[in-house]
Amino acid sequence: MAYSLSSSVEVFSSIGTKHYSNGSIKKPNAGINFVPIALGLRFQLDKEGLNPGMMTEFPPLKKRGFWNITSYTGLKSYEIGERAYFRGGLGLNYLWELSYKYRGGIGIDWFYGAGAKDRYPDDTISFTDVNSYAVVGSWEWKLTDKLYLPIALGIYVNKAHYNQEVANFYERIGVRYRFNNNVFAGVQIKAHKAKADFFEFTLGYTIPGKVKYTVNR
């Protein structure tokens, strides 16, 4: 929030939240949470007036769908002092071009957690105890033509008992870059109720659908 005192001076304030975490690669992972609050003065030293220039010409927006095939890899520590084990999986999502800045859609995720037999040698562990499946709603916030933020909310259909999936749903946010050959790579955090499950290093491929129609701005 800002309030102008004159043409060159304004008072500003801000409030937010920040979280630091190792993504459960090693425990204990208490994390650090704090709420930064700022209050100050801002001075405009340049007296030159704003010149917005010519209006930007946007290219036609191609309305079509996209298939994203994604692999997830990472590490997770389950107990204090123990080693970290492989966590990973695959995702298949269909997204629709909503606007110049956003894509949205739905898909499925599969996750696998290694090391259950090492951590529980006396237990009888089945396939579903270490493999989980979920339906996921996906959102892409396009920062540029190539760089975007993936945001998702998933609901488990099967929650693996030994993977420490502590809620019936999970959140995901991160950053990805899509290359000219439709291959994309990135890093993101998967969490349960804002508590980190593991860092996901992603590699995937996008299959663009046929253009249904174009929109001119």
Res 217: pLDDT: 66
For the chain, give every domain's residue range.
Answer: 2-43, 61-209
Splitting the chain (217 residues) into consecutive groups of 10 residues, what average pLDDT does each group show?
90 89 79 87 78 78 92 91 92 94 96 93 92 96 94 95 91 95 95 89 94 76
Residues 6+ apart with CB under 8 A from 12: 1, 2, 3, 38, 39, 40, 41, 42
- List the one residue out of 110, 65, 63 whose CA is nearest residue 217: 63
d(CA 6, CA 91): 53
CA distance 117 to 128: 13
Distance CA 184, CA 206 (A): 8
In CATH terms, 61-209 corresponds, of 3.40.50.300, 3.30.465.10, 1.10.10.10, 2.40.160.20, to: 2.40.160.20
User: How much is the pLDDT for 50?
Assistant: 67
Q: What is the pLDDT of residue 79?
A: 87
